[in-house]
Structure 1
């Protein structure tokens, strides 16, 4: 086995990648990078009935968007390919036959109907039918039939499967990096099918053969594979190969905590469960993604990292490089991790504050373009700097700062009522005349000037500042008022005051 760390992410192209899958990919990526190893993508497409057009491209695009691209895989050949199981078909039969030769597997000729009969018979007696050591001699397979009978069936091309021969009366000692040591009694295990009658391997055989041939050193996967660990361990042993280290990740749970997070939870509660938007090629249904909802990949990655792992410190915000340095499988929890949509928004808000204003201005400019508003790039960036602490997504910029680009066409009734008193019009008309004489409209200077004027009138600041905000913004919201006046300029400020006094008199 390779001394270099090699991990793999092996999704099936049966639809969009769930964020649980993205987290598995992320943990594999972090582990590989921490140890200077390789992160391999393998597409497990042996089940051609469930294959969905476009799913493989979606998986690759998702990994790239998250900033966790694979080092080796489809299109990045490094000598261990091909990386799609459907293109490796010819390899698997050879290994299944090897297990038959060594006595670790056998041909089973039982038909689906015959097995159904056994199941029904057991159910009627209140038992569960398991194909294993206690009944395999009574069933139709190469262990119970003579060599001649077996050969006759093979020559006649009778349909068969190849089953693994689970050992009897043995206690397996299994190790898992996250869950520790486990013991399994082999008497409770069934003889799993390794090779199907259609000439395709099952997941179990293909998975072990590929991991061995690709020199995978650590298998980091979801806990739904934990029941298969005993079989996989025995398969390595049967082939005489060194097994990789195994680590089974906890489930991502619904926000309420009970059960696995599903697409339906996202639809019901209004949050994405996929990294990117997915359009179902059959139904045409569209499922939203984190990218299309306006999330930054850094926020999604940071959120996913904490779903089942903690660094053992108070630090909550990690750049990808820091995660690579800090991540340890030993610090992954055994118990399921509850998904919290609000926490995801909290990470998003943090990365919004950290984002470069020029980049955000480019994104916001696209929104302004849709509204047919043209503005100078530097002006947009300055506006963004002023309002971004109040925003979570780029689409919030308009709501938080529309008044920097267009004059209010109406005034919030509740706010107007609160700000407008009997003498407000008179006061604002006076302010309008006073501001005509002011030449310096920079925020700091303007603040001093207006403060002086209000003091000279011997009135409370609220009597002027509240209606002035309504006049400039249309409501009692927005950042520093003097900054707004500076940004929109003297002429526009005077025009808005005039409009407000005429409308709200």
Structure 2
């Protein structure tokens, strides 16, 4: 039997970080074992499920490059199959009609609570056949009354739950639509899922699902329940901790490889290794090595990982992701250097691609004003002569390359008998509009010669104005 995992999100919102990690772990385990990875959209909550959420999940999976081998399957397309299984459970005596109202069931729970017993439905209709006419009913699964369910969990070890603690859960609502625990069981059975990887908030559902699988004579998959992700305050990760949507990390300027690398280490480790290529993740990952305790999200660590990838990945690849941010910020990159060249000189100066785009605007867009603080400090009267002379030397260059530009700046400083900073800083402000840039010779080389000369003229005009103003 081929090893098969699945990722089964509900389309009631974006693909969040916890879901992405679950998808990654499922994907890695399938990849490692030459198995199948299924994408299943659990969209039976018709009121809350939206196409926008489906699109967001797909976008997140595609951005992370977590390719599925089968799917996406939609539960709403499988209602006939669920009805067939519900009928099978009724026929075999493993399910029954329950005519209790919601208020009656609540009263049962309150009564049990008052007695210090487990709060659950008391099985009133479990063995009755005196069904009333024209009264709504739900269908409940007839859970075993004694014995234990043992979850052989690959992460947490064996978990034993007494059947006495479990309800006769509802598997079909009054309108006939199936419930979550029924649809999941049928899907995992039909899709031959051998390993269920999911958050440990599902542990309470697992014994119910195992009992339904047993009633159907289906094979029980292996389970791996992954502990939740916590924020830096020790509480469950949520919007209040910052970005939790996968695509928000894209928007904030992170590379997908960086987020995946960070997520794989958020609950799993291989010695002290921090950086893993996709191939290394597949080779080394094992569900049995996942942590049993929750993991804390650390944005500073994610930033560190992102910086590593920006600096070490092929610049042409990073440039493809940078292009999205340039477009998002309305920067037309048609007239300017190749983005891969920008990556080479800016990657070690920023935390994110969004920031890289923001500080690289001057390579593609002209400006009419200089950064006020930089201009006040460097575009003063003393900058007039250095700017005029360096402009002459730059204008005379036939070879617009970093080495020749560097020589021209050096020659200006030597001729005027001033330090390099007296030439370099006014020139930097003139060419870039501000006081920060990569190495000046490399920066100018990436700008068109005529553009640099025109910007020096603009800077000289500012200097003249200040001189005139006294």
The structural deviation recorded for 1:105 is: 4.4
List per-residue Cα deviations over 1:384-420 (Å, max 9, x = no partner).
4333433445443453233334555333333334335
The structural deviation recorded for 1:360 is: 2.0
Counterpart position of 1:59? 57
- From 89, 96, 115, the equivalent of 2:105 is 115
Task: Report the 3-state secondary structure (helix = DSSP H, G, I; strand = E; otherwise coil) of the residue aligned with 1:42.
Answer: strand
The structural deviation recorded for 1:366 is: 5.9
Instruction: Identify the range of structure 1 (459-468 vs 446-455) with the bigger mean alpha-carbon deviation.
Output: 446-455
Instruction: Identify the range of structure 1 (430-439 vs 185-194) with the bigger mean alpha-carbon deviation.
Output: 430-439
The structural deviation recorded for 1:313 is: 4.2
Change (3 A) 1:308 1:456: same
If the length of structure 1 is used for normalisation, what is the TM-score? Answer: 0.79
Gaps of 5+ in 2: none
Matched, 1:375 2:335: yes
Change (3 A) 1:18 1:379: closer
List per-residue Cα deviations over 1:282-323 (Å, max 9, x = no partner).
xxxxxxx3444444333332233222222334142422x332
Gaps of 5+ in 1: 76-80, 277-288
CA contact (8 A) 2:268 2:291 kept: yes
Alignment partners' CA distance in 1, 2:179 and 2:291: 30
Counterpart position of 2:292? 334
Counterpart position of 2:189? 212
- From 373, 388, 407, the equivalent of 1:414 is 373
Counterpart position of 2:162? 185
Task: Report the 3-state secondary structure (helix = DSSP H, G, I; strand = E; otherwise coil) of the residue aligned with 1:15.
Answer: coil
CA contact (8 A) 1:6 1:39 kept: yes
Coordinate RMSD, CA, aligned: 3.4
Counterpart position of 2:305? 347
- From 196, 201, 206, the equivalent of 1:229 is 206
Alignment partners' CA distance in 2, 1:359 and 1:225: 37
CA contact (8 A) 1:419 1:470 kept: yes
CA contact (8 A) 1:43 1:84 kept: no
The structural deviation recorded for 1:20 is: 1.9
Matched, 1:486 2:462: no
Counterpart position of 2:81? 88
Q: How does 1:253-332 map to 2 (within 5 A)?
A: 253-258=230-235, 260-262=236-238, 264-265=239-240, 269=242, 271=243, 273-276=244-247, 289-319=248-278, 321-332=279-290
Instruction: Identify the range of structure 1 (178-187 vs 39-48) with the bigger mean alpha-carbon deviation.
Output: 39-48
Give aligned pairs, total.
462
Greater than 6 Å deviation, 4+ residue runs: none
- From 39, 42, 51, the equivalent of 1:41 is 39
The structural deviation recorded for 1:226 is: 0.5
Task: Report the 3-state secondary structure (helix = DSSP H, G, I; strand = E; otherwise coil) of the residue aligned with 1:476.
Answer: coil
Alignment partners' CA distance in 2, 1:489 and 1:142: 82
